[in-house]
Structure 1
Amino acid sequence: MKLTPKQKKFADEYIKTGNATQSAIEAGYSKKYANTNAPKLLQNTTLKQYIEKCMAEIASNSVMSYTEAVELLTSIARGEEKETVVVATPVSVEKVEKEADLKTRISALKEILKRYPNNDKLIEQQIRKLSAEADIAQKKAELLSGSNGDIIVNINPFEEDS
C-alpha cells in the first residue's frame, strides 16, 4: 500500500518537527481533524514504516562510520589534514593553514594502532621515538621562551599523560 500525497507530506513534516498536529495541518488536514486524529495517523502501518525508514537514513548519514573515522585518523597521522590558525605578525593578524603538530599526529597513530591489537613492535618503537622527540622539542621551546621548568621526557607514549 502506498502513501497518499497528503500522508507523505504529513510524514515529511512530522520528521522535521516531531509535532503530529502541526504536521497534519501543514499537510492539508483541517485543524479540527488534526487536533483529534493526528496521533492516529502515526499508527498507520505504512506511514509508520515510511517514517522509520526516513529516520534511519537520516541517522546513518549523520553518524560517522568506523571506516570514515579510521580514514580521518590516517589523514591526520600523515599530515594531510590542515587546520587554520591565527598568527600575529608585526603588521596584522593572518590566518594560516598548517598540518597537525607532531603530538597530534602521534595521538592519531595511537588511535589507529588500538584497532590492530597485534601491531608490529617496530611501529611501537617508532612511535615511542617520535613521542620522545616531540617532548624534547616542546621542552626546548619552553626553555627558549623563558620557562625554567624541569625537563621530563616521556619514553612510554602508551601511558596516558597526567
Structure 2
Amino acid sequence: MKLTEKQKRLIDFFIELGDYTKAARKAGYSEASAKDAPKWFNPRESQYKPYLKQALDTRLKEFENSRIAMADEVLKFLTSSMRGEIKEEKVVTEGDGLGYSKTRIVETAPSVRDRIEAAKSLLKRYPMQLDAKEQKLKLQKLEAEIRAAEQVDDDAVTIVDDLGDGDDENSKAQ
C-alpha cells in the first residue's frame, strides 16, 4: 500500500523523536488521532495498520544500512589504505627562522605501518591466500590422492578381468 505524505512524515518524525504521539502531532495529525498513533504500530491493537509498521521497519533498515559499513565497503577501504590511495590531513607547524611559526594542513598518504596493518587485516579475511607454499602442498596431496584412487579403480578392473578370464578357461575345459 502506498503511503500518504502525512504517513511518510509520521514515520520520519518517529525515527527522529522516538515517540509515536509526538511524531503524529508533528506530522499534522489531530490531537485525537495522535493519541491513537501508538496503536497503529502495535499488532495486538484493533487499530493496527500493518503497512505503517512495515514502512517503519523498511525505513529503519535503510537508515541502518546507510550508517553501518558493510563488509565490501570495509574491504575496499582496507585495500585503498594498503595501496596508499587515501589521503590523511595532518597539521604541520613550521618555523620561519624569525621566531615565528606557521601552521598549515598537509595531505599525506598512510604511513608504511598503517599500510602494513591494512594488509594484515585483509589477509585475515582471506586465509586461503596466506601461504602459497601451504596451498601448493595441499594441491599436491589432493592430486596424489586422486592418482591413488584411480590406481585402485584400475587394479579392481584388472582383477575383475582376470576373474573373467579364469571363468572362460574353466568353461572351455568342461
TM-score range, shorter chain: 0.5 to 0.7
Change (3 A) 1:93 1:54: same
Residue 68, structure 1, aligned to residue 67, structure 2: no
In the alignment, the residues of structure 2 paired with residue 10 and residue 68 of structure 1 have an alpha-carbon distance, to the nearest angstrom, of: 32
Residue 15, structure 1, aligned to residue 25, structure 2: no
Q: In the TM superposition, what is the alpha-carbon distance from 1:41 to its structure 2 partner?
A: 2.0
User: What letter corresponds to residue 33 of structure 1 in structure 2?
Assistant: S
User: What letter corresponds to residue 22 of structure 1 in structure 2?
Assistant: K
Larger Rg computed on CA atoms: 2
Deviations 1:123-156 (CA, angstroms, capped at 9, x unpaired): xxxxxxxxxxxxxxxxxxxxxxxxxxxxxxxxxx
Q: For 2:24, what is the secondary structure of its paired residue? A: helix
Which structure: greater helix fraction?
Answer: 2
Map of 1:113 onto structure 2:
123
Q: 1:93 aligns with which of 79, 103, 128?
A: 103
Calculate the TM-score normalised by the size of structure 1.
0.68
Q: For 2:54, what is the secondary structure of its paired residue? A: helix
In the alignment, the residues of structure 2 paired with residue 102 and residue 3 of structure 1 have an alpha-carbon distance, to the nearest angstrom, of: 53
Would the aligned equivalents of 2:79 and 2:119 in 1 still touch at CA under 8 Å? yes
User: What letter corresponds to residue 41 of structure 1 in structure 2?
Assistant: W
Change (3 A) 1:33 1:82: same
Note the residue ranges of structure 2 that are not aligned, 5 or more in a row. 43-48, 97-101, 133-174
Would the aligned equivalents of 2:84 and 2:115 in 1 still touch at CA under 8 Å? yes
Q: In the TM superposition, what is the alpha-carbon distance from 1:32 to its structure 2 partner?
A: 3.5
Map of 1:152 onto structure 2:
none
User: What letter corresponds to residue 66 of structure 1 in structure 2?
Assistant: A
User: What letter corresponds to residue 41 of structure 2 in structure 1?
Assistant: L
Q: Which protein, 1 or 2, shows the higher relative CO under an 8 Å CA cutoff with sep ≥ 6?
A: 1
In the alignment, the residues of structure 2 paired with residue 20 and residue 48 of structure 1 have an alpha-carbon distance, to the nearest angstrom, of: 12
User: What letter corresponds to residue 95 of structure 1 in structure 2?
Assistant: I
Change (3 A) 1:120 1:6: closer
**Aligned residue pair count:** 121
Q: In the TM superposition, what is the alpha-carbon distance from 1:31 to its structure 2 partner?
A: 2.0
* Superposed CA RMSD: 1.7
Query: Is 101-110 or 60-69 further displaced after alignment?
Result: 60-69
Q: Percent identity?
A: 38
Change (3 A) 1:41 1:102: same
Map of 1:40 onto structure 2:
39
